Structure 1
Amino acid sequence: MLKATIIVKLKEGVDDPEGKTIKHSLELLNFEGIKEVKVAKLYEIYLDLSLEDGKKEVEEMIKKLLVNPIIHDYEFRVEEI
């Protein structure tokens, strides 16, 4: 079995309203010194494929659904578990 871990982040310079809201809420709770909050998504996908096929499949998932290449950067790894 394979485990794919995919992290999707907004590109530098893309507005992150959720991060701004979290930063503001933390400041309201008296947390200090917070310069910026960035929100990312982490996906864990489990596959019953070979490692080579799993990597190809995950790359297709990323391209077709999980990432908008205009606004997102991403990283992923696929490992046998």
Structure 2
Amino acid sequence: MPDLEFVRREIEYMRVHVGRQRKDILKLQRAGISTASAELLLQRMLAKIEGLCTERDRLKRELPGVTAGKVLGSRKW
């Protein structure tokens, strides 16, 4: 089972690839080439990132001593 750090790294890795994919799609559009398959790939990549974010949030909730909505350095009025 992947740990929280692995999931975070995978999200960053996928976000970099999404940026590259978007640039490639723009280049293809400028050249007048069909981008249907590239856009489908982009949608699959975005769906994978969404799933990884869900997994990350689940793993964060399972960490001991972590409360939801807690902000570091917040004021105690």
> Which TM bucket (shorter chain)?
under 0.3
- Given the two structures, how large is their TM-score scaled by the length of structure 2? 0.26
Q: Which has the larger radius of gyration?
A: 2
Higher relative contact order by CA 8 Å / sep ≥ 6: 1 or 2? Answer: 1
Larger strand proportion, structure 1 or 2? Answer: 1
